Amino acid sequence: MRSIGHFIGGKEVKGTSGRTADVFEPMTGDVQAKVALASKAEVRAAVENAKAAQPEWASTNPQRRARVMMRFVELVQRDYDKLAELLAREHGKTVPDAKGDIQRGLEVAEFACGIPHLMKGEYTEGAGPGIDIYSMRQPLGVVAGITPFNFPAMIPMWKFAPAIACGNAFILKPSERDPGVPMKLAELMIEAGLPAGILNVVNGDKEAVDAILDDPDVKAIGFVGSTPIAQYIYERAAQTGKRCQCFGGAKNHAIIMPDADMDQAVDALIGAGYGSAGERCMAVSVAVPVGKTTADRLMDKLIPRVESLKIGTSVDPSADYGPLVTREAVEKVKSYIDIGVKEGATLAVDGRGFKMQGYENGFYLGGSLFDNVTKDMRIYKEEIFGPVLSVVRAKDYHEALALPSDHDYGNGVAIFTRDGDAARDFAAKVNVGMVGVNVPIPVPIAYYTFGGWKKSGFGDLNQHGPDSVRFYTKTKTVTSRWPSGVKDGAEFSIPTMK
């Protein structure tokens, strides 16, 4: 059985806390590895290592830092298939889905290769008599990322690639449920030429998280996970004066207008609602057809599609989706389906009884579909994070617009329509951070920024894109004047540019 430790000082080291957690293979239900859970002392060792290495890395010119990132991209592409299979076997998502996970992370690493341009400051000559003003962006020092199980390649790269390119050292605390790929990514960064200590990986649970939050040398923290933990981390980080960006849960709506291409909308709902077994913060979990005719047409097409979903092992290339990450995750989703039935929603397709032949101990769950869900139900209010789609019928456009706008979560939303005016109005008015127009999962490309609103996001700056450079750097502004023989004498009022 594999034993997974930590990655500190450029190499993997064994855990010393004496505590471990099981890493399961979701498609079989077997324990495939033991991962060490870091103590406060082990987290501190990683921070000290990072702190010692960071100044020299920060003084390395941006172009050379970019070359390390370019080489890293090449190495990940070289090992693409191996990384995807490891990811699939630890998480449960299919290998094609795992490749998408890796690719979306790589795109941010590619964006970070432009750091010589992205970190350029501003310059004004002659701002006053003989005075020039310029600004520069400088790294924060040691920063950290706490990342979730559902994207064990993408989100770590979203965090550490721009942070390291900016000249910081990085402490990564990935999910203990699927730590294999983050450890491999750290190895590849070293192979790419990153100095030892600039990227450290500490595996662990709440003890490691709290150690990162309380460490005085960690200057900024990025987090992705559930909303209660996002809020906890944001508040605790703020108490110690750390810069923080925290992204939480979601309840993403898809509005189906009467004029929508229904086949396109159904394809989008099936892929976005059930892909990766619904374990995505951008999964569509609520469909909102506008008008009874639209709703009836939608259900007529959705029911057979959900019933015919092909659920398979993580390594089955023909599977629509694979198992969930743990048995506890399966039981949690089943409990929400029970709640929906008790609340009076119509369970049009019930996936609770699904069993995978030959893999009866795996963490599988069939697709479920609810109709006649109302906004006072728990299955509407709360994030289920599984292969469950709820249909909430809206009488008109205004009611449909109000549903995602009034919901506690505000991560992503989509509208399906042929009407450009309706789409434009919706995009402008909906109270949600990311909007898709005939696009079910509106995750922006790497040079834009990703972030939700309301209880889906805490902090002023988002992930990747220009916001990532702003988050991982601080601006210094210099006002400069060289003596030219002119004597102004003492001035006791505040300086102005008269």
Query: Mean pLDDT over all residues of the chain?
Result: 96
d(CA 147, CA 141): 20
Is 244 labeled as catalytic in the residue annotation?
no
Neighbouring CB atoms inside 10 A of 264's CB total 12
What are the C-alpha distances in Å from 230 to residues 246, 274, 310, 441, 461? 5, 25, 34, 22, 14
Q: Which of 113, 166, 246, 281 is catalytic?
A: 281
How far is CA 307 from each of CA 244, 278, 366, 392, 491, rounded to the nearest angstrom?
Answer: 43, 16, 9, 19, 80
Asked whether residue 489 is domain-assigned, the answer is no
| Cα separation of the two ends of the chain | 73
pLDDT of residue 130: 85
Domain membership of residue 494 (yes or no) is no
State the pLDDT at residue 493: 73
pLDDT for 485 equals 60
242 and 290, same structural domain?
Answer: no
484 belongs to a structural domain: no
Residue 100 has pLDDT above 90, yes or no: yes
* Kind and range of the H or E run holding 133: strand 131-139
Residue 225, φ and ψ in degrees, nearest 5: 175, -150
Q: Is residue 366 part of a domain?
A: yes
Q: Is residue 136 part of a domain?
A: yes
Residues 179 and 257 in one domain: no
Burial group, residue 274, by CB count within 10 angstroms (0-12, 13-18, 19+): buried
Claim to verify: residue 207 and residue 107 sit in the same structural domain: yes
What's the pLDDT tens digit per position in 15-28? 999 999 999 999 99
Residues 452-485 have pLDDT tens digits of 999 999 998 999 999 999 999 999 999 999 877 6
> What pLDDT band is residue 175 in, cutting at 50, 70 and 90?
very high
pLDDT confidence tier of residue 129, bands split at 50, 70 and 90? confident
pLDDT tier for residue 102 given thresholds of 50, 70 and 90 = very high
Once rounded to an integer, what is the mean pLDDT over residues 21-46? 97
Cα distance between residue 466 and residue 448, in whole Å:
7
User: Which amino acid is located at 483 in the chain?
Assistant: P
Do 87 and 196 lie in one domain? The reply is: yes
Residue 237 contacts residue 211 (beta carbons within 8 Å) = no
- CB contact set of 332 (below 8 Å; sequence gap of 6+): 385, 386
- Tokens 């949690």 identify what position? 332
Residue 498 has pLDDT above 70, yes or no: no
**What pLDDT, on the 0 to 100 scale, is given for residue 251?**
96
Q: Is the pLDDT of residue 267 over 70?
A: yes
| Same domain as 52, residue 39 | yes
For residue 86 the two structure tokens come to 């490891």
What is the reported pLDDT for 486?
A: 59
Decide if 442 is inside a domain.
no
Give the pLDDT confidence score for residue 483 in this predicted structure. 78
At residue 497, the pLDDT reads 61
Q: For position 422, which CATH number holds? A: 3.40.309.10
Mean pLDDT of all residues in 177-206 = 98
104-118 pLDDT, tens digit per residue, is 999 999 999 999 999
What are the pLDDT digits (tens) for 385-425?
999 999 999 999 999 999 999 999 999 999 999 999 999 99
Q: Which domain holds residue 391?
A: 252-437
For the chain, percent of residues with pLDDT exceeding 90: 95
Give pLDDT tens digits for 418-438. 999 999 999 999 999 999 999
- Give the pLDDT band of residue 488 (cuts 50, 70, 90): low
Same domain, 381 and 462: no
- Tell me: do 125 and 240 sit in the same domain: yes
Are 470 and 420 in the same domain?
no
**Residue 445 falls inside a structural domain:** no
**431 and 360, same domain (yes or no):** yes
> Do 29 and 173 belong together in one domain?
yes
| Mean pLDDT across 251-277 | 97
Same domain, 272 and 321: yes
Mean pLDDT of 359-378: 97
Do 208 and 88 fall into the same domain? yes
Residue 156's CATH number: 3.40.605.10
Count of the separate structural domains present in the chain:
2
Look up residue 253 and give its two tokens: 């709506």
Q: How many CB atoms lie within 10 A of CB 358?
A: 8
